[in-house]
Structures are given as structure tokens and as C-alpha cells.
């Protein structure tokens, strides 16, 4: 990619997954970026080249553009150099399920009166947040401050690629200079652009995540019916996914979705609807199906092992999905807690998420390889589909295990290979070997 020299400098407030990727991505496009965070240790580390998250390609991008990336804890640095201030602070769920906007509002409160600046909201916020912030600006005598909604759709694990090759860019604005400037910023990516009003842009983000979560809960329920009826959900999804009205993505049955976005955004949309007087029935089911799905592994283990008291259960993977160390709302959190409550001993290995997992999971013995997890285990549960687990020597695994149960929580392993090693393989929504009809040829 060419590196133009006259690109507009920008500010990015919040240097987490979204902020740092956005900053590095715009640096790649040629922009100088002032990155601001309240976390002094994070900013100090970034100044010294330490990347606080594990995200493929990010460290290289930050290193390549060190000259364009400026890190500071002082908002004034961004205000001095940039007109557009991207907001990428966290909006975690509150106890009620509503989005916690306290970080967003503290950024808003810190803005000075200005006719030269605009906030560009990347954080995922409820519909109406932009209108509220504009009202706050007016009440505080800062009506000149512009506001643009620019929701972020990157996926952890492929965030850098998603920034540079987005499916679309959504910009919600009031048709003023700030919206035009954000359109110009993204122009080099040549992505389909949806320029709309602020509320619609806010809703595009929430509705997109709610739809994807619905697709996952839908295929998980199909998987559960497959288990009752003897159909194989992998075959069913293959047949469904070739219909281009449906598409193959997000049709992988498993032990539920997690992560920092889907659970909180789906709940936030449900709450937003409820707060506005509308009961969003479908989303209630999507959430409930997902919670139950995380627990289905328990029944599978008990079917194979009987009581779990004193049983050694090994978890392969802990992160909410591969290629990230993000543990927020990971299915492994629920599973490890349920297993321990049932009296099992839990050991686990994740190629990158151990440090994050240690902050959130208690009572789990962390191992340094899948082979160590298998050694002496009564059962293994694949929780995260890290590629290295597909390459395991299952004969060696079988020889070192105390039991022979393998629950594939992501339908990721080669079932025949696992069974050929003498292990009892069970996936999600897939018939046991003895129930399967012989493969037919045309
Ligand atoms: N992570 C994702 O995959 C993803 C994808 C799309 C959208 N989003 C949304 O983007 C937003 C950020 O998510 P994230 O995962 O990057 O969060 P994160 O927790 O990784 O990062 C947030 C950062 O903001 C900083 N911060 C908090 N308050 C601040 C303040 N007042 N001033 C400056 N910095 C402050 C924190 O120290 C932290 O470094 C959320 O609204 C999230 O829903 C996330």
C-alpha cells in the first residue's frame, strides 16, 4: 500500500482492541495518529513497543509505523494535532444488561468547547447515544463540537485485515464537515460506504451482531434436534450454507458464542428495546439458547463418565475463539465453573490466552501443552478450535489418557482420526459412530 504524506492527522481515544487496530490501520494509510489512553502502564508499554493484546499482524503494523503513531495519556496532545477524535473506549455490560457508557461520557466531559473538533464514535453504543451526546455538548456550551457515528465491525483474530479490507464502512452524521472528513479518511480502502443518519448507523452495529448471534443460536438448536433424530449438523449446515440466501458462515454448531461483543451487544439491544417499550422476544431466546448450549457439554461428559466427582477433565483451548487471547465471556469460563461445581478437577491449555485466563478462572491447573492436558485425563473437551489441536497425535493422546472420552465442542477435529486412535469421539449435533449410516456414493 502506498503511503501518502498529506493525510489528515487523527486522534484515537482508548487503545484497546479497536483503538489500537484503528490507529495502526490509519497509520498504514498514511495518517499520523495520536493515541490516548488513561491506562498509564499501557501507554508506557506502547511507547516502548510492547503490544498489550495478541492480534495477528498488529505488532508488525505498529512497529512499521512507529514514526506516525504517538502515544500519550494527555488528551490535549490529540486535541492539538487532530480535528477528528475517534472514541474506542470500552462499553461493557452493566448488571442490568444495559451498556455501561461511563467511559464514553467521561471522554465527552473532557472535551473543550470547540468549533474545530469532532468526536467519531467507534465504541458500540445504544441507539440514541449520539443524540444524547449532542444534547450534552449543547447544554455545556460546546454546541460547535461535531459528532459522527462510525461503528466498528472488526473481528478479533483478523482485526488488521478487517480494518484494511472491510465489508463496508458505515458513517452516520449530520451532513457536515466532520462526516465528509471521515468519508475522506476511509476513501483509500475503497469499501462499500453506507452514509446515513446517526441513529441508523448505531442500529446497524447492534442489529448486525444480533443477527449473527441469532444465526449461531439457530444452528445450535438444529444441532440439538440432530442429536435427537440422528442427523449430522455438519452435513445439514453444508447443505444449508450453499443456498446463497443463507450462506455458510456462522453455521458452525458448538458450545455457544462468547467474546467481548456478541453477548453484551445482544443483551444491550434487548435492553434498549425493553427500555423503549418493545419486548424483543427473539433475542431472549437467542440469549437463553446460548447459555444452555455452554452447559450441554456437562450432560455429554456425565453420559460417558457417570459422576464427575474426582474426574480429571482437560480443556483444549480457553479463549472465546482462536487467534485471540480475549477471554471475555468465553464458554470456557462457564464450563470450568460448572465442572468444578460437579466435583471434577479441571486442567487446561491455551496457546496464547493463559495469562488472561488466570485473571478470570479459579481452580484450574494450567498446562503448557495439549499432550500435558491429555496425560492422565478421563476426558478431553475441545473448547477453542486452535489449529494445533487438529494436528495432535491422537494415538499418543489415547495412550496417555486415563479415560477415552473426547468431546469436540466445536466440531473441529477429524472424528474418524480420533476414533481410529481408540478414543470415544462426540461432537455437537453429530451422531455417534454406531448410529451412522454407512457413507453412500452416488
Ligand atoms: N473487541 C472487538 O472485537 C470489538 C469489535 C467491534 C466493536 N467493539 C467495541 O469497541 C469498543 C472498545 O472495545 P475494545 O474491545 O477495544 O475495548 P478494550 O477494553 O480492549 O479497550 C478500551 C480501552 O479504552 C481505555 N479507556 C477507558 N476509558 C478511557 C478514557 N476515559 N480515556 C481514554 N481511554 C480510556 C481503556 O484503558 C482501554 O485501553 C467497545 O464499545 C466494543 O463494544 C469491539
CA distances from 325 to 260, 335, 357 (A): 11, 17, 8
**If you take atom 27 of ligand 1, which residue's CA is the nearest one?**
89
Percent of the chain with pLDDT over 90: 94
Q: Sign of torsion, CA 188 193 198 200?
A: negative
Pairing of β 169-172 and β 84-87: unpaired
Q: How confident is the model at residue 434 (pLDDT cuts 50, 70, 90)?
A: low
Instruction: Provide the pLDDT for residue 432.
Output: 73
Q: Which residue has the cell 512497529?
A: 63
- Asked whether the predicted pLDDT for residue 2 surpasses 70, the reply is no
Range with the poorest average pLDDT among 68-72, 291-295, 337-341: 291-295
By most ligand atoms within 8 Å of CB, the mutation choice from 19, 50, 110, 125 for ligand 1 is 19
Instruction: Provide the pLDDT for residue 428.
Output: 97
Instruction: Provide the pLDDT for residue 118.
Output: 98
CA dist 70 and 80 (Å) reads: 13
Tell me the pLDDT tens digit for each residue of 365-421.
999 999 999 999 999 999 999 999 999 999 999 999 999 999 999 999 999 999 999
CA dist 24 and 20 (Å) reads: 6
Instruction: Provide the pLDDT for residue 90.
Output: 97
Q: How confident is the model at residue 5 (pLDDT cuts 50, 70, 90)?
A: low
The half-sphere exposure of 183 on its side-chain side, counting CA atoms within 13 A, is 15
- Asked whether the predicted pLDDT for residue 436 surpasses 70, the reply is no
Alpha helices in 188-280, H assignment, sequence order: 198-229, 233-241, 262-275
| Mean pLDDT calculated for residue range 16-41 | 98
Tell me the pLDDT tens digit for each residue of 323-334.
999 999 999 999
**If you take atom 36 of ligand 1, which residue's CA is the nearest one?**
14
Non-local CB neighbours of 135 within 8 Å, separated by 6+ positions = none
Residues with CB under 6 A from ligand 1: 13-19, 36-39, 42, 88-91, 103, 106-107, 122-124, 152, 154, 156, 260-261
Q: How confident is the model at residue 97 (pLDDT cuts 50, 70, 90)?
A: confident
Q: Sign of torsion, CA 231 237 241 242?
A: negative
- Asked whether the predicted pLDDT for residue 435 surpasses 90, the reply is no
Catalytic hit among 35, 150, 226, 261: 261
Q: How confident is the model at residue 441 (pLDDT cuts 50, 70, 90)?
A: very low
Residue 226 appears among annotated catalytic residues: no
By most ligand atoms within 8 Å of CB, the mutation choice from 16, 75, 79, 213 for ligand 1 is 16
| Mean pLDDT calculated for residue range 54-69 | 96
Instruction: Provide the pLDDT for residue 431.
Output: 85
Instruction: Provide the pLDDT for residue 439.
Output: 43
Tell me the pLDDT tens digit for each residue of 271-280.
999 999 999 9
Instruction: Provide the pLDDT for residue 369.
Output: 98
- Asked whether the predicted pLDDT for residue 438 surpasses 90, the reply is no
Q: How confident is the model at residue 126 (pLDDT cuts 50, 70, 90)?
A: very high
Average pLDDT, the chain: 95
Amino acid at each position: 500500500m502506498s503511503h501518502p504524506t498529506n493525510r489528515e492527522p487523527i486522534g484515537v481515544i482508548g487503545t484497546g482492541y479497536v483503538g489500537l487496530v484503528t490507529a495502526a490501520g490509519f497509520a498504514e494509510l498514511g495518517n499520523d495518529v495520536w493515541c490516548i489512553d488513561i491506562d498509564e502502564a499501557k501507554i508506557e508499554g506502547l511507547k516502548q513497543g510492547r503490544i498489550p493484546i495478541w492480534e495477528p499482524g498488529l505488532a508488525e503494523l505498529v512497529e512499521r509505523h512507529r514514526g506516525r503513531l504517538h502515544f500519550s495519556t494527555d488528551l490535549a496532545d490529540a486535541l492539538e494535532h487532530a480535528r477528528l477524535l475517534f472514541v474506542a473506549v470500552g462499553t461493557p455490560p452493566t448488571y442490568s444488561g444495559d451498556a455501561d457508557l461511563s467511559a464514553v461520557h467521561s471522554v465527552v466531559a473532557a472535551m473543550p468547547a470547540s468549533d474545530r473538533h469532532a468526536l467519531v464514535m467507534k465504541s458500540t453504543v445504544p441507539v440514541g447515544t449520539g443524540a444524547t451526546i449532542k444534547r450534552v455538548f449543547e447544554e455545556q456550551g460546546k454546541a460547535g463540537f461535531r459528532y459522527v457515528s462510525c461503528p466498528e465491525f472488526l473481528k478479533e483474530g483478523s482485526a488488521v485485515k478487517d480494518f484494511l479490507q472491510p465489508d463496508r464502512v458505515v458513517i452516520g452524521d449530520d451532513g457536515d464537515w466532520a462526516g465528509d472528513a471521515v468519508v475522506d479518511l476511509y476513501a483509500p480502502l475503497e469499501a462499500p460506504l453506507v452514509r446515513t443518519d446517526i441513529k441508523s448507523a448505531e442500529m446497524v452495529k447492534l442489529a448486525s451482531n444480533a443477527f449473527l448471534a441469532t444465526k449461531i443460536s439457530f444452528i445450535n438448536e438444529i444441532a440439538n434436534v440432530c442429536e435427537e433424530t440422528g442427523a449430522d449438523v455438519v452435513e445439514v449446515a453444508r447443505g444449508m450454507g450453499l443456498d446463497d440466501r443463507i450462506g455458510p458462515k456462522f453455521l458452525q454448531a458448538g458450545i455457544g458464542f462468547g467474546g467481548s461483543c456478541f453477548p453484551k451487544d445482544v443483551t444491550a439491544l434487548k435492553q434498549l428495546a425493553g427500555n423503549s417499550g418493545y419486548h424483543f422476544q427473539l433475542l431472549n431466546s437467542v440469549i437463553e439458547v446460548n447459555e444452555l448450549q455452554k452447559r450441554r457439554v456437562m450432560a455429554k461428559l456425565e453420559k460417558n463418565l457417570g459422576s464427575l466427582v474426582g474426574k480429571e477433565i482437560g480443556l483444549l483451548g480457553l479463549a472465546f475463539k482462536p487467534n485471540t487471547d480475549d477471554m471475555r465471556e468465553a464458554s470456557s469460563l462457564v464450563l470450568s465453573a460448572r465442572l468444578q461445581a460437579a466435583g471434577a478437577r479441571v486442567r487446561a491449555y491455551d496457546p496464547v490466552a493463559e495469562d488472561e485466563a488466570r485473571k478470570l478462572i479459579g481452580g484450574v491447573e494450567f498446562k503448557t501443552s495439549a499432550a500435558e492436558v491429555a496425560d492422565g485425563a478421563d476426558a478431553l473437551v475441545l473448547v477453542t478450535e486452535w489449529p494445533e489441536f487438529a494436528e495432535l497425535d491422537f494415538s499418543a493422546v489415547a495412550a496417555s489418557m486415563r479415560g477415552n472420552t473426547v468431546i469436540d465442542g466445536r466440531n473441529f477435529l477429524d472424528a474418524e482420526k480420533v476414533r481410529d486412535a481408540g478414543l470415544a469421539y462426540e461432537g455437537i449435533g453429530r451422531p455417534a459412530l454406531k448410529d451412522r449410516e454407512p457413507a453412500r456414493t452416488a
